[in-house]
Chains A and B, each alone.
Chain A
Amino acid sequence: MSMDRRQFLKVAGISTIFGLGGAPVINWLRNDGLEASHVLTDEKALIGKHWAMVIDMSRFETEEDYRRVIHACHSIHNVPNLDNPKDAVKWIWTDTYHHTFPGQENEYIPEEIKHKPFILLCNHCQNPPCVRVCPTKATFKRKDGIVMMDQHRCIGCRFCMAGCPFGARSFNYKDPRPFIKEENKEYPTRTIGVVEKCTFCFERLAKGLIPACVEASQNAAKEAGKEPGMFFGDLEDPASEVRKVLSTRYSIRRKQELGTQPSVFYIIGGGKNA
């Protein structure tokens, strides 16, 4: 078969288009592609089926109680400290009752609760809208319930930020590195143009440690001889700390009506008997 230049270019062009589009199809058929969710496990690693957190707000009394848990997280995860709220990056932070539980407020609740700061972080929803909307699977749900981020795959479209009903996600509007006070070399810093958030300290769980915020809260409580304000454990394990707390104390979750199934539970407390 002879072919002139024009025909050759046509065939070559069409083949190229099909070739480009075909690669993912072939990968999918071969099904040996490495997903971002594939990780190597350590012997000491804490293994769970559904990691969850309980925050007992009645145990947060002084400013130091809040600062301690936020600092524990932000210092080890190289969370930049940008002053302006526009570009802010937050993994764990505080806000008022009204802002934490919009729609739940009424003006007659105790003054103490009205003005009390509440601890906020990613809810690690069991039905996470951020995962549903991400066009590259850069954010995904692990088998243990943690909603993770792959910052090398994120294209920075910020669809997850629009999808998250909890405002848990931050975008690196600026290069975060100059705003990290003291860099922790054990944990990666991020680049401009990607989204980040709390990861339930997946890197600590892999080494057999509980999340840094919970550890900070529990250590301080032990020192002071008090009950801790934060608990972490496996919801599927009836003997876990979180299950024990949840079966004895009344708890609520943020925006339950949206059906995202948050894994962070709040005990509001309030009175002295709480």
Chain B
Amino acid sequence: MLEKALVGSRRYWTWVFFLSAIVAIGFINYLFQFKNGLGITGMSRDVSWGLYIGQFTFLVGVAASAVMLVIPYYLHDFKKFGKIVILGEFLAVASVTMCISFIFVDLGQPMRVLNVILHPTPNSILFWDMIVLNGYLFLNIVIGWVTLSSDRKGVKPPSWIKSLIYLSIPWAFSIHTVTAFLYAGLPGRHFWLSAIMAARFLASAFAGGPALLIILALIVRKLTKFDPGREPIQALGKIVTYAMIANVFFLGLEFFTAFYSQIPGHTHPFKYLYAGLEGHGKLVPLMWASTVLAIISLILLVVPQWRRSERILAFACGALFVSLWIDKGFGLVVGGFIPNPFEGVTEYWPTLRETFIALGVWALGFLVLTLLYKIAVSVREETEGIEIEH
């Protein structure tokens, strides 16, 4: 099926080369970082993780969201998702690719990355994160590829794939739970030391991921002859709405615990993020932008008439995605480091090179996504009108 990614319209190739160019710019900047060290980023002794690890955390959520299509389709026999499950699985592949790349560019000694396998350390959550992320990547590549090639041949997929599909469901939950455990088990980082961290991660994942999927499905419909259909998109819209409500609720719980208990260590990061601390407030406008976008998107999503309009739905999903990106891809990681263990404030802002490297990784992910979607859409166009069953 790979050959389907090698033929395409002028527009397709322009887009592929555009993404490749951004990847190249990112790569050149990465070489600079490789030579000169992570000192070229905005990270410091106090804020030792930044944009890279934030993107990684956010994208694990996007990857996990494929399960929001898999569960209704395979466990509840919701047939409408039949044609678009593949979009979720391939989005997961692209997202995990970005996750792994973001971890890689964040390493101080990337050439030693295999030490994680050479010296396996089960007491480190990062060790488990490596296992679950690679496992999830493998599962989604195999499941996506096998089911799609069966669809193309017009046959039922082999029965063994079912067991992998069922396995992928708890596995999706595991990738985001383990990623939350990276943070939630650290003593002395009050902002992250919260039992609800994993639940919050999952809620934001199941809102943000399907929101992106809706936007992608609408783009696919506009640019190709494959129509994902109105009903699946509406069903996804409902999932996004519920998940976002849960996410905002969980964030509210964090606020309550911090501010009703009034334990200084617990309130400080929230104060830093939303009001500024000791005269430092670089992230305040961003966090409020995230809050406003979250409210706007929720209002638009909750009202059924508005949600039913695909234009409004698309806008709401866009707002929601940006809101969650700020909250999780930036505020969550940076906020955990401020104030530092000495209750001092060192602020963080990514440098230009760091931003280019991050953009490069995003472009790489979208390149993978484009190629995979090109294949999936070509198969769907070929087999238009044929009912498929997995």
Contact = CB atoms under 8 A, between A and B. Distances in A.
B264 interface: yes
Interface in A145-204: 153-159, 161-167, 170-175, 191-195
Interface string B80-119: 0000000000000000000000010011111011011111
B346 A136 contact: no
Interface stretch (B37-45, B249-257, B320-328): B37-45
B113 A155 contact: yes
Contacts of B37: 172-175, 192-193
Given A85-B45, A99-B343, A24 B120 contact: yes
Interface in B29-51: 36-39, 41, 43-46, 48-49
B374 interface: no
Contact of B49 (A95, A158, A194): A158
A116 interface: no
Contact of A170 (B45, B113, B189): B45
Given A156-B108, A161-B48, A165-B341, A133 B124 contact: yes
A154 B115 CA distance: 8
A162 B49 contact: yes
Contact of A157 (B39, B126, B342): B126
A261 to B, nearest CB: 11
B30 to A, nearest CB: 13
Contact of B342 (A102, A129, A159): A102
Interface in B163-202: 182-183, 185-189
A134 B38 CA distance: 19
A255 interface: yes
Interface of B is mostly: loop
A138 interface: yes
B186 A163 contact: yes
B121 interface: yes
A135 B187 contact: no
B115 A167 contact: no
A132 interface: yes
B150 interface: no
Given A24-B117, A193-B38, A162 B342 contact: no
Contacts of B120: 24, 28
A228 to B, nearest CB: 26
A50 interface: no
B275 interface: no
B344 interface: yes
Contact of B188 (A90, A98, A165, A174): A165
Contact of A154 (B45, B109, B118): B109
B187 A102 contact: no
A156 B44 contact: no
Interface residues of B, number: 49
Contacts of B188: 129, 164-166, 255, 258
Contacts of A154: 108-109, 112
Contacts of A236: none
A75 interface: no
Contacts of B113: 155
Interface in A179-237: 191-195
Interface string B128-144: 00100000000000000
Given A99-B343, A103-B265, A255-B188, A155 B49 contact: no
A177 to B, nearest CB: 12
A71 to B, nearest CB: 20
A133 B147 CA distance: 38
A98 B264 CA distance: 14
B117 A156 contact: no
Given A132-B124, A153-B119, A173 B187 contact: no
A242 to B, nearest CB: 25
Given A132-B124, A175-B37, A192-B37, A98 B44 contact: no
Nearest to A36: B119
B383 interface: no
A159 B124 contact: yes
A154 B116 CA distance: 10
Interface string B245-280: 000000000000000000011000000000000000
Contacts of B123: 132
A137 interface: yes
A162 B124 CA distance: 13
Contact of A129 (B112, B116, B187, B265): B187
Nearest to A27: B118
B338 to A, nearest CB: 13
Interface of B: 36-39, 41, 43-46, 48-49, 103, 106-110, 112-113, 115-121, 123-127, 130, 182-183, 185-189, 264-265, 336-337, 340-344, 346
27 contacts: A85-B46, A88-B45, A98-B343, A99-B343, A102-B341, A103-B265, A133-B124, A134-B124, A135-B116, A135-B121, A136-B124, A153-B119, A157-B108, A158-B48, A159-B182, A162-B337, A163-B186, A165-B189, A166-B341, A167-B340, A170-B45, A172-B108, A173-B39, A173-B41, A193-B37, A194-B108, A260-B187
Listed from nearest, the 3 A-B pairs whose CB atoms lie closest are A156-B108, A165-B188, A193-B108
Given A103-B264, A135-B124, A192-B39, 10 more contacts: A20-B117, A28-B120, A86-B44, A129-B188, A137-B119, A162-B336, A164-B188, A173-B44, A174-B39, A192-B37
